[in-house]
């Protein structure tokens, strides 16, 4: 299992504007920067939807953490 600090670092990388939430646009942008050129906004929205506990279309750190911890 990943360390909470490692998970926070990953979250912060995806939270491009630093507002404490990951949007589909941010997710897709970082995925592309990491070499995944197949991640479109639609794909990013689908990925976020699987972790988005409150269904607002964005990920908070708590949602991201819960998804990473299983």
Mean model confidence pLDDT for the chain: 95
pLDDT higher than 90, residue 11: yes
Q: What is the pLDDT of residues 49-67, one digit of tens each?
A: 999 999 999 999 999 999 9
Backbone angle region of 15, left / alpha / beta, with phi > 0 → left and psi within -120 to 50 → alpha: beta
Number of domains in the chain: 1
* Residue where the block lists tokens 């949602």: 63
Which DSSP string corresponds to 4-68?
HHHHHHHHHHH-TT-SSEE-HHHHHHHHHHTT-TT--HHHHHHHHHHH-TT-SSSEEHHHHHHHH
Task: Assign 69 a pLDDT band (cuts: 50, 70, 90).
Answer: confident
CATH number for the domain spanning 45: value is 1.10.238.10
> Domain limits at 10?
4-69
pLDDT tens for each residue of 38-52:
999 999 999 999 999
């Amino acid at each position: 299992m990943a360390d909470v600090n490692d998970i926070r670092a990953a979250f912060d990388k995806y939270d491009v504007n630093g507002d404490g939430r990951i949007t589909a646009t941010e997710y897709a942008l970082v995925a592309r920067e990491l070499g995944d050129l197949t991640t479109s906004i639609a794909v990013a929205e689908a990925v976020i939807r699987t972790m988005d506990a409150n269904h607002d279309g964005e990920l908070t750190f708590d949602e991201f953490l819960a998804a990473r911890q299983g």
